Structure 1
Amino acid sequence: MSDSTFEAFRRAEALVSNGRPLDALRELRPVLDAEPDLPSVVQLAGRAYLNSAQFRRAEEAFSRLVEMDPSDHYSLFALGKTLQRQGRLSEAITKLRLAVAMSPLPEYQEALGEVSARLAFRNERQSDN
């Protein structure tokens, strides 16, 4: 990664951290063009897509990362959150369970609990009908 590409990556990273995902994606565009398969670049793009409600793009990015490294618990977590935000709870819970099994971080456990509760509620409502 060239110095200018690295600097653009760092600026995009700061923008995502500051809640400006669309600005981050603009900054990240040349980085994605230069390093489309670099996991850190794909992950940052996925975070920006997720934070800007571009769920299909986020899903594509995090799915690619999981394909690259199936043991990447953060990408599994982020993919689970992306699926959750799309209302695809059954798919989300599978990814979140894997993430928690690999690394039982509180954030992962909280997301798993939330999806589990929503699924239970949905199943209960369906059985009442």
Structure 2
Amino acid sequence: MAEERSPQTHVIDFRAAEQLLAARDPRGAVQLLAPVIEAHPENTAARLLRARAYFHSAQLRSAEAEFLVVLEREPDNAYAHFALARTLERCGSARAPEAQRHFRLAAALDPRPDFLKAARFDG
């Protein structure tokens, strides 16, 4: 029988997953986030963190799927557009036009220098 986890445990797991990702253990972060997202599928922050962990562990299809869930809920999330674009870019040149569209959306939503550079509006 599965152990029932409390909301406090989910917060602890989320914070620990952040630490694991910072310590370059993305697969460990993914494992910690699974029960958090299962209990709280609407939690966009947890999904965004899991998408980043998937990206850093080269699980690009899973990363793409998670970034798309985040963007479905928060279409104005510039970081999610940028990270999805990086994910698509890593998938290969066939996805480059799609990646470019998301880079440009990110830059339009938040004109940070790194987003503007990636968007390549000048060329």
TM-score for the superposition, normalised by structure 1: 0.83
Matched, 1:97 2:104: yes
Q: Give the residue type in structure 2 aligned to 1:86.
A: C
1:85 matched residue in structure 2? 90
Instruction: For structure 1, list consecutive stretches of 5 or more residues without a partner in the other structure.
Output: 121-129
Q: How do residues 41-60 of structure 1 correspond to structure 2 at under 5 angstroms?
A: 41-60=46-65
- TM-superposed deviation, 1:69: 1.3
Give the distance between the partners of 1:20 and 1:108, measured in 2 at CA: 26
Indicate the percent of aligned positions where both proteins have the same amino acid. Answer: 37
| From 33, 42, 45, the counterpart of 1:40 | 45
2:118 and 2:12 map into 1 onto residues whose CA distance is 33
> What do you get for the CA RMSD once the two structures are aligned?
1.6
Whichever of the two has the greater Rg, that structure is 1
Q: Which residue does the alignment assign to 1:62?
A: 67
Q: TM-score, normalised by structure 2?
A: 0.86
Name segments (4+ residues, structure 1) moved above 3 Å. Answer: none
More helix by share: 1
The number of residue pairs the alignment matches comes to 115
Cα distance per residue 1:49-100 (max 9 Å; x no partner): 0110111111001111111111111111111111111011110000000100
